Amino acid sequence: MDEELRTVTERLRAEAGGSKEYERLVATGDLEELAEVLVSPEQPLWTRELAAVLLGVAGDRRALESLVLLLNHRDAPRCAAAAYALARLGDPRTARAAAALATNELRVAYALHPVRLLTELRAPESAPALITTLRRRLAPHDPFGKIALACVEGLGALGDPRARPVLTAARAHPRLAAAASAALARLPE
């Protein structure tokens, strides 16, 4: 178990409050049992999250829908856990879902983890979604500076030349200038 997964399971252990169900689920290697949790009625959120993350890390695509819902959750730790599991899931639908969440203006306050996930996935959908999201964040007085910065850093990491115009525009914003210049330097000529 790596450090990120340990952090997730410790947070969920605290939410479970010493539940025997937590201990049973975290110890099981039975993917069928974990998948059953996702479709069983009246499960607490921590139970569904634990099952979805464990399935995702195991590469079981039945976790996709639950993880995408968690990626769009209002609680940042749940979003981070979902992004972690989705990055390991290996489902080609993941990038499309993350791109849809990152570019949804109605949910822009929750776009940070989808943006970071797109950068990690390096999928064909990644750069276009980050470009679109960043372009919108360059509006005057936009309150989502962290998301804009994540887009700039992500576009630099992706090194996609299509990002040049939006990164050039981002240099005019004081909070993004240094990161945009660094990202532009990483783009191929």
Hey, which CATH number is domain 1-91, 1.10.3470, 1.25.10, 2.60.40, 3.40.50? 1.25.10
Q: Which two tokens stand for residue 65?
A: 């829908």
Domain boundaries, the chain: 1-91, 94-188
Q: What is the pLDDT of residues 8-36, one digit of tens each?
A: 999 999 999 989 999 999 999 899 999 99
Q: Quick check: pTM over 0.85?
A: yes
Q: What is the pLDDT of residues 63-94, one digit of tens each?
A: 999 999 999 999 999 999 999 999 999 999 99
Q: Which long-range contacts (CB under 8 A, 24 or more apart) does 25-30 make?
A: 25/50, 25/51, 25/54, 26/50, 26/54
